[in-house]
């Protein structure tokens, strides 16, 4: 459910358009992207229906750090990079990758989904000077330089570290 606030509502409408665009080009399930079902407007609230997922990586790590073996981290990394390859092939920047935006679909076998495209944009859009959460922000963004899809890769490195 999206907060009934104009800024959040507008951002969610943009996210819905992106999710539909992605789904029209790729199978979200085979590319580790959120499987968007539909959007509903009910009693002045916007509802997004998606697949049911588990904890995000931040919560999962706090609950059970021993789950994150080297093998598990490698599997998660491959899945995140597969999702990014799909997004980047469509000229979409995620621009807010962080552990909270990677949800666990399955613990065994390990499967994750990249979610929250609310800050995503097309490379040809006017790129905002403020993107990415501070702890996962690429140097070019910090310095106010131009940036591209490489900022998502930087964020992946921060997550894995």
| Separation of alpha carbons 15 and 7, rounded Å | 12
**Residues with Cβ within 8 Å of residue 121, at least 6 apart in sequence:** 92, 93, 95, 127, 128
**Distance of alpha carbon 85 from alpha carbon 15, whole angstroms:** 18
- Pick from 82, 90, 99, 84: which is nearest to 150 by CA? 84
96 catalytic? Reply is yes
Catalytic residue among 10, 96, 148, 152: 96
Q: Contacts for 64-70 with beta carbons within 8 Å, 24 or more apart? A: 67/107
**58 Cβ contact partners less than 8 Å away, ≥ 6 residues apart:** 98, 99, 100
Q: Are 102 and 113 in contact (CB under 8 A)?
A: yes
Which residues are known catalytic residues? 96
């Amino acid at each position: 459910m999206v907060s009934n606030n104009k800024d959040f509502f507008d951002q969610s409408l943009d996210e819905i358009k992106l999710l539909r665009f992605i789904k029209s080009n790729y199978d979200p399930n085979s590319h580790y992207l959120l499987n968007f079902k539909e959007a509903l407007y009910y009693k002045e609230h916007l509802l997004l229906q998606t697949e049911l997922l588990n904890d995000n990586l931040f919560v999962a790590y706090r609950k059970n750090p021993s789950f994150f073996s080297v093998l598990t981290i490698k599997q998660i990394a491959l899945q995140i990079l597969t999702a990014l390859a799909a997004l980047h092939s469509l000229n979409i920047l995620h621009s807010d990758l962080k552990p909270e935006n990677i949800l666990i679909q399955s613990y065994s076998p390990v499967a994750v989904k990249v979610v929250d495209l609310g800050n995503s944009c097309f490379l040809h859009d006017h790129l905002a000077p403020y993107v990415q959460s501070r702890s996962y922000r690429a140097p070019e963004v910090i310095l106010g330089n131009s940036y591209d899809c490489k900022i998502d890769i930087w964020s992946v490195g921060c997550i894995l570290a």
